[in-house]
A = this chain, B = another copy of it.
Amino acid sequence: MKKLINHPDAVVDEMVEGYVAAYPQYVAVLPTNKRALIGTHERTQGKVGVVIGGGSGHEPAFMGLIGKGMADGVPVGNIFASPPPHPIVEVTKAIHSGAGVIYMYGNYAGDCMNFDMAAELADLEEGIRVETVLVTDDIASASENEMHRRRGIAGGFLVFKTAGAAAERGYALDEVVRVTRKANDRLRTMGVALAPCRIPQTGQPSFTLEEGEMEIGLGIHGEPGIQRGLIATADETADILLDAIIQELRLVQGDRVVVLVNGLGSTTRMELLITYRRVDTRLKALEVEIARSYVGEYVTSLEMGGCSLSIMKLDDELEDLIQDAADTPMFVQMR
């Protein structure tokens, strides 16, 4: 395992220290908890607070997305592990501006438990109303009639973007929750893995794939996928991902979408763009309109090889929110 680290047990703390040092104009760590990060941007009184989080190793998610128009705060977990309740509560209290707080994270047991506990504590201790929207975009993780069992993967970025913009516009908490749920409901992701990552503390690969193999639907922590086979071309791979998404979203002529081709870690932008090319060609042939595209690393799994494709079916409200400006250390968008 070749990594630029100092000690496997120190990677998350040192990453956070490096992050706060690199972007003091955006983020600060709370004096009470070194895993509790908040944005230094102005939070208008009465703005809904936006908290996202989860394990480390998915950078730029989650901590890279703190800033105006995205998240107000992020509790930081260990690698691929939920943060405990304490930093979540600390972040919640610090960013609350009187209008309640929305929590968003991928649908994993550990995250659900810890964030739920934090929400209770925030209510109990300071009367802060917290609502939660789980990200459940991963098609491969459960069948369509068990949506509540689906995991959250890269599409979460678009859910966070929607909520961040709605909060910034001054939506009340119930309205932020409504539009964020809608964003998640109209979003699907499917991924393909080409190579594992290695967790610093174990040095072991997160899964094994033979030299010529790829696996469809493999989760961002190495959860098993749905189909393993010989590595296909970029076009064939894009088709597999896209076919599943088109079918579930029932995409038809005239629909408008946002497309995200997300790199899992070591896959080059060249490959992501080649993959995007096929998605674009296919959607144009269907006369589905692409309102905006994102191609790059948004939710990674350390240096895993592969990518995921996310598509959100837009309505006017979602499209408007997705196009809003955002200003964070690892994602900036001008309107």
Contacts and interface: CB of A to CB of B under 8 A. Distances in A.
Interface of A: 2-7, 11-12, 14-15, 17-19, 21-23, 56-57, 59-60, 64, 192, 194-195, 211-212, 214, 231, 233-235, 237, 259, 261, 265-277, 280-281, 293, 295-297, 300, 302-303, 305-307, 325, 327, 330, 332-334
Contacts of A18: 272-277, 280, 295
A54 to B, nearest CB: 14
A300 B234 CA distance: 21
A332 B334 contact: yes
Contacts of A19: 273, 295
A238 B182 CA distance: 45
Nearest to A23: B293
Number of copies: 2
B4 A194 contact: yes
Contact of A233 (B6, B231, B267, B296): B6
B59 A6 contact: no
Contact of A270 (B268, B276, B302): B302
B5 A64 contact: no
Contact of A21 (B4, B212, B280, B297): B280
Of A261, A295, A330, chain B has the most CB atoms within 10 Å of the CB of: A295
Given A5-B274, A6-B233, A265-B266, 14 more contacts: A7-B233, A11-B274, A14-B277, A18-B273, A18-B275, A22-B259, A22-B293, A59-B273, A60-B269, A266-B266, A266-B303, A268-B302, A325-B334, A327-B334
A39 to B, nearest CB: 14
A17 B270 CA distance: 11
Nearest to A2: B194
Contacts of A192: 4
A241 to B, nearest CB: 11
A6 B234 CA distance: 5
For the complex of A and B, 10 pairs with smallest distance between CB atoms = A18-B277, A266-B266, A18-B273, A332-B332, A4-B271, A59-B269, A21-B280, A22-B293, A18-B276, A4-B234
Of A18, A266, A300, chain B has the most CB atoms within 10 Å of the CB of: A18
A271 B18 CA distance: 10
5 contacts: A4-B234, A14-B273, A56-B270, A267-B303, A332-B332
